Chains A and B, each alone.
Chain A
């Protein structure tokens, strides 16, 4: 008993002396409090390209803040959700349980975001969604949650109108996955396309991880649809497109940003040619150009992905809010984010009553040509 007590007090004394010894050194350099910001996204698995690009956007914003005269020393905590809700919740719990983490951004996959936002809500940790686009995420209006990307409604509406008029499709077959994202897309496109005067031939929802679409494609071929709308993400999109060509089904495949990714072209190979997606039009502003240049100069291992700028912007919004309100009052911090009018790479971001970005979306059509995504000429 006495022995342990002695050992303990000895340890305490040691620790004390160590901290005493350390403090002057720290103060001598720069007396900045250390804080952490969290990032969650798919950095492994089929959607990893999207997550890795966004992760780099997040780290870039933090590095720039640290190099600048930011009042805190910021450390980025990067966690993988592997596009899996369970893994995502694990990562979210890790962030909210770390007292140094002030706020976080996350998720490319809507099902993952829908699983983790209650965790951030319970912990009252401000959370900005940089990639997941299901309307349900902001429909819940959790005070901590905001989103810098447009919802899938904003991408599906112009696509449906374009498909009905420019593409001239009358009957479209929908293939999607069974997740919230996939069913959300299927519902949204069905409504917008029928409103635009088209007809939906069939709707087939397959679980994420499906590797054989031939039976469904055979059915679509037999029914004679004018085009296929795919409402899922990259891996399945690549497989579907490849098998569509193999089965001799020569109709266009269209979709939204969910598989706007070079990896899709790699997976589908030559069959990817002519695939069309709607994607928020590239804005050009000096800040965005600066970010592209900074990204290249930073020397990341992975190329920029379409969501790099969203993650970069989300991180900057967090950093700005933290600079204004500090880190002690999380509720005030969340409020500050919502009330913010942020000038950044996306333009002027403001949030509506539900925490959804109010930046108007102008959508353009991207098409695979010569093994690359290019913007379709009007």
Chain B
């Protein structure tokens, strides 16, 4: 296969992986809580800012210069911090809409997203401006004509790993069983001595921490990060989850592959396709929703009466 096709395949897989990390969070939260957490993208994009701030703090104190160690430590810190921000978002805002129609939480989280963006802008020094974000792994492999950044392979590997871990956690651990029990029926779960509020907190932590990895990858892949990148990341992650079927983990992955696929395909093959890449991506969303409103792998949503 020639280098052109290979390079495009590579672009596609990396983009899909990043989108999937965000889409999984949407799906998980919808599956468990029946909540569309529209600020999930904004929560996720906080992560690269935490990384940048932590790296600077580490360089100022513990490490004499920018070392890989500082970056790894900063990423770990960011994942935990953003996980907690997710829990906080639930505790402050979303939990108040547990018994309200799903639409209420959706609108509330749209507003919450704006709050998060403006907070990044205010708190981070010169927060309006784009910040250069380091490439997590600089090394590149040359295979014939093809340049393969090790970072791209790393993104794909981590995403696949996260999917497996999530699957195992959900299917084969006591925590996963409790999460699924709460998703099934909150009241019955309570009768079985499961505290739903703890399960909600755990779910928000997991979804936001996975989203944080997606956010860090997104920033590192672009090479810059800006306070409002969460809008597009969230929109695309959400669309991927919707196409695949909200609530289905496999669906989120499939949806990400499809959205990133059409994005890459349009740019690679159509003349001037780049101008319309998002148009085609969202046309796909409309197309799937018209044919199968619950998404490709989605269960039919029953209106609770």
Contact = CB atoms under 8 A, between A and B. Distances in A.
B128 A243 contact: no
A57 B135 CA distance: 36
Contacts of A267: 130, 132, 223-224
A343 B103 CA distance: 63
Given A178-B275, A202-B271, A218-B8, A212 B221 contact: yes
A206 B147 contact: no
A221 interface: yes
Given A45-B129, A203-B272, A205-B274, A222 B140 contact: no
A219 B268 contact: yes
A82 B128 contact: yes
Contact of B129 (A46, A209, A243, A247): A46
B149 A246 contact: yes
B268 A46 contact: no
Contacts of B226: 46, 235
Interface in B182-239: 218, 221-224, 226, 229, 232
Contacts of B229: 211
A169 to B, nearest CB: 21
A188 B136 CA distance: 38
B177 interface: no
Contact of A206 (B140, B223, B275): B275
Nearest to A45: B128
Given A46-B226, A247-B147, A216 B128 contact: no
A48 B128 contact: yes
B92 interface: no
Given A44-B129, A219-B268, A269-B132, A207 B275 contact: yes
B267 interface: yes
19 contacts: A44-B128, A44-B129, A45-B129, A202-B271, A204-B273, A205-B272, A205-B275, A211-B218, A211-B221, A211-B229, A214-B11, A215-B274, A221-B7, A222-B7, A235-B130, A238-B130, A263-B129, A267-B224, A269-B132
A211 B128 contact: no
Contacts of A178: 275
A204 B15 contact: no
Contacts of A263: 129
B142 A248 contact: yes
A248 B7 CA distance: 11
B263 interface: yes
A246 B147 contact: yes
Nearest to B146: A248
A239 interface: yes
A304 B168 CA distance: 57
Contacts of B132: 238, 266-267, 269
Contacts of A216: 267, 274
Nearest to A269: B132
A218 B7 contact: yes
Q: How large is the interface on A (under 10, 10 to 19, 20 to 34, 35 or more residues)?
A: 35 or more
B223 A239 contact: yes
A174 B3 CA distance: 21
Given A48-B129, A216-B274, A247 B7 contact: yes
A67 to B, nearest CB: 30
Interface of A: 44-46, 48, 82, 178, 202-207, 209-212, 214-216, 218-219, 221-222, 235, 238-239, 242-243, 246-248, 263, 266-269
Contacts of B218: 211
B3 A46 contact: no
B289 interface: no
B4 interface: yes
B39 interface: no
Nearest to B222: A211
A242 B226 CA distance: 16
Contacts of B135: 246
Contacts of A204: 267, 272-275
Most buried by B among A44, A212, A221, A243: A212
Interface in B130-144: 130, 132, 135, 140, 142
B278 interface: yes
A301 to B, nearest CB: 11
A202 B218 CA distance: 27
A235 B226 CA distance: 10
B251 to A, nearest CB: 24
A211 B149 contact: no
B264 interface: yes
B54 to A, nearest CB: 20
B129 A215 contact: no
B13 to A, nearest CB: 12
* 6 residue pairs, one from A and one from B, having the closest CB atoms: A248-B147, A215-B267, A44-B128, A211-B222, A222-B4, A242-B223
Nearest to A178: B275
A237 to B, nearest CB: 11
B88 to A, nearest CB: 27
Contacts of B222: 211-212, 239
Interface in B22-62: none
